[in-house]
């Protein structure tokens, strides 16, 4: 069904016919910048959520349409992205993804000038379409860019740069987006305004989005030009790994791994999406939205540190064991936050970021291990599973509207428990093996 990273047989591109003995560091450095870019832009959604919630007076379920629109695009565009990679190759696909992301960033300007919530969602969909192209090609590309035994380590390293982007984005967004907007009006004040006054208020609040996203669009176009000028090596899956099999669905570890990606991305995104509002509540941090948003950098910063450290640790420790341990600790920390109040509830939730760190790359490499020429199709399935970032935050939003934001975090706990089960029971690879 999913055909994401197919074999390239273009005469103009010299293919590598065997698994590389040594990692291409230059290509790794170039691709790492792409991981940084999409991490930065993805995390800005966590800043947009409380901002748009106030501008358009939305409840939690409604404002979580931000993440629903964004992450649903991964599911919708994963197959077309695979076709793009098949037609034009890795390097050109990365350029196309960056250009598409730049166009999506520019669409924030008319959305803010309207201002209209559906237009913001449209801009996010276009932005996510570009990211889907990058994810579909870059993750498996890094996995096969060096020796198979260090694939998980390489993905953790590049995901570390992704986390660097998510760490810097909250500071950027809290200053330029939330800090650049006037103090939000309370619901009673909004209800007493005339239609013209409401429109004027929304126009004023939304204006803080325009300059940051114009700057980001320019940066994306410049990065696209740099990648276009760089010669990335081409990997030939079929010749490196043998004859192609028919179906990806008979591989149990892959299918269960896709569910693992679904619940992991859903849990990580849900926590980040709700964190600003969670920390602004009186029983937790009682912070202003701008101050609460700045704490996101500690959550994402923990993931960054964990990925860089994990890249080294995974040279020695089994991938499955580290994944299971991190999932268990993450579930425990979220549970402790739900059962407590004040600063303890805040910092136990922030600490989850450190243990999220190695989950995505470890699940990804465990799921595609040993698939050979099916790696491309398998990666398409795994990228499509990122749609969990659309479904789970939306479900948590519905829960928050009914049982309160504090107890709605039970959903991420269940997600982490599944990952714990996958690490020890869902993968048939021997526990002693490393990534």
**CATH number, domain containing residue 311:** 1.20.1250.20
In a domain, residue 372? The reply is: yes
In a domain, residue 3? The reply is: no
In a domain, residue 2? The reply is: no
The Cα 360–Cα 370 span in angstroms is: 18
For residue 15, list its beta bridge partners: 234
Q: What φ, ψ does residue 146 adopt, rounded to 5°?
A: -155, -165
For residue 198, list its beta bridge partners: none
Range of the domain at 41: 15-426
3-state secondary structure 4-57: CCCCCCCCCCCEECCCCCCCCHHHHHHHHHHHHHHHHHHHHHHHHHHHHHHHCC
Per-residue pLDDT, 139 = 72
In a domain, residue 433? The reply is: no
Number of domains in the chain: 1
In a domain, residue 332? The reply is: yes
The Cα 350–Cα 275 span in angstroms is: 9
Tens of pLDDT along the chain (435 residues) come to: 333 333 333 333 333 335 566 777 888 888 899 999 989 999 999 889 988 988 888 999 999 999 999 999 988 998 888 778 778 777 788 889 999 999 999 999 999 999 999 999 999 999 999 999 888 777 777 777 777 777 767 877 887 788 888 888 888 888 888 776 656 655 566 667 888 888 888 898 888 899 999 999 999 999 999 988 887 776 554 434 444 556 788 888 899 999 999 999 999 999 999 998 899 888 888 888 888 888 888 998 898 888 888 878 877 888 899 999 999 999 999 999 999 999 999 999 999 999 998 899 899 889 988 877 777 678 778 888 989 999 999 999 999 999 999 999 999 999 999 999 999 988 766 554 444
Cα radius of gyration rounded to whole Å, the chain = 21
In a domain, residue 5? The reply is: no
Tokens of 98: 């960056």
The Cα 35–Cα 47 span in angstroms is: 19
Enumerate residues 6+ apart whose C-beta is below 8 A from 365: 143, 151, 152, 155, 319, 435
The Cα 35–Cα 45 span in angstroms is: 16
The Cα 209–Cα 223 span in angstroms is: 21
In a domain, residue 355? The reply is: yes
**Any idea what DSSP says for residue 233?**
P
Per-residue pLDDT, 111 = 95
Per-residue pLDDT, 281 = 87
Per-residue pLDDT, 361 = 85
The three-state secondary structure class of 318 is: strand
pLDDT in tens, 389-430: 999 999 999 999 999 999 999 999 999 999 999 999 887 665
Tokens of 224: 């696209």
The Cα 172–Cα 168 span in angstroms is: 6
Cα separations (Å) of 53 from 3, 172, 289, 385?
37, 19, 11, 27
pLDDT in tens, 250-282: 888 899 999 999 999 999 999 999 998 899 888
In a domain, residue 166? The reply is: yes
Cα separations (Å) of 268 from 261, 271, 359, 372?
10, 5, 10, 29
């Amino acid at each position: 069904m999913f055909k994401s990273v197919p074999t390239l047989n273009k005469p103009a591109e010299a293919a590598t016919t065997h698994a590389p003995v040594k990692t291409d560091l230059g290509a790794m450095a170039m691709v790492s910048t792409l991981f940084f870019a999409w991490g930065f832009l993805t995390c800005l959604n966590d800043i947009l959520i409380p901002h748009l919630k106030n501008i358009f007076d939305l409840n939690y379920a409604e404002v979580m349409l931000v993440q629903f629109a964004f992450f649903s695009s991964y599911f919708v565009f994963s197959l077309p992205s695979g076709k793009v990679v098949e037609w034009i190759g890795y390097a050109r696909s990365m350029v196309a993804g960056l250009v598409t992301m730049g166009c999506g960033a520019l669409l924030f300007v008319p959305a803010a000038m309207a201002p209209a919530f559906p237009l913001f969602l449209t801009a996010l969909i276009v932005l996510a379409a570009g990211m889907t192209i990058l994810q579909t090609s870059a993750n498996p590309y890094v996995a096969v860019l060096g020796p198979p035994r260090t694939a998980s380590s390489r993905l953790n390293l590049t995901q570390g740069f992704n986390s660097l982007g998510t760490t810097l984005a909250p500071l950027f967004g809290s200053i330029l987006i939330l800090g650049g907007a006037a103090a939000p009006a309370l619901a009673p004040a909004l209800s007493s305004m005339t239609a013209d006054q409401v429109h004027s208020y929304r126009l004023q609040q939304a204006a803080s989005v325009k300059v940051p996203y114009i700057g980001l669009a320019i940066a994306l176009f410049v990065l696209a030009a740099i990648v276009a000028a760089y010669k990335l090596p081409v990997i030939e899956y079929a010749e490196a790994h043998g004859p192609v099999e028919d179906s990806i669905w008979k591989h149990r570890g892959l299918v269960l791994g896709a569910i693992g990606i679904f619940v992991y991305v859903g849990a990580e995104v849900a926590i980040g999406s709700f964190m600003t509002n969670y920390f602004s509540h009186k029983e937790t941090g009682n912070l202003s939205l701008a101050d609460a948003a700045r704490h996101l950098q500690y959550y994402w910063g923990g993931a960054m540190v964990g990925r860089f450290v994990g890249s080294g640790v995974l040279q020695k420790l089994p991938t499955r064991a580290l994944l299971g341990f991190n999932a268990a600790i993450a579930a425990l920390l979220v549970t402790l936050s739900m059962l407590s109040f004040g600063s303890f509830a805040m910092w136990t939730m922030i600490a989850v970021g450190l243990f999220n760190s190695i989950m995505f790359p470890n699940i990804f490499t465990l799921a595609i291990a040993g698939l050979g020429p099916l790696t491309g199709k398998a990666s398409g399935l795994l990228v499509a599973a990122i749609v969990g970032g659309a479904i789970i935050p939306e479900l948590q939003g519905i829960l928050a509207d009914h049982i309160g934001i504090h107890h709605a975090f039970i959903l991420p706990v269940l997600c982490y428990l599944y990952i714990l089960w996958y690490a020890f029971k869902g993968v048939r690879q021997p526990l002693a093996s490393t990534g």
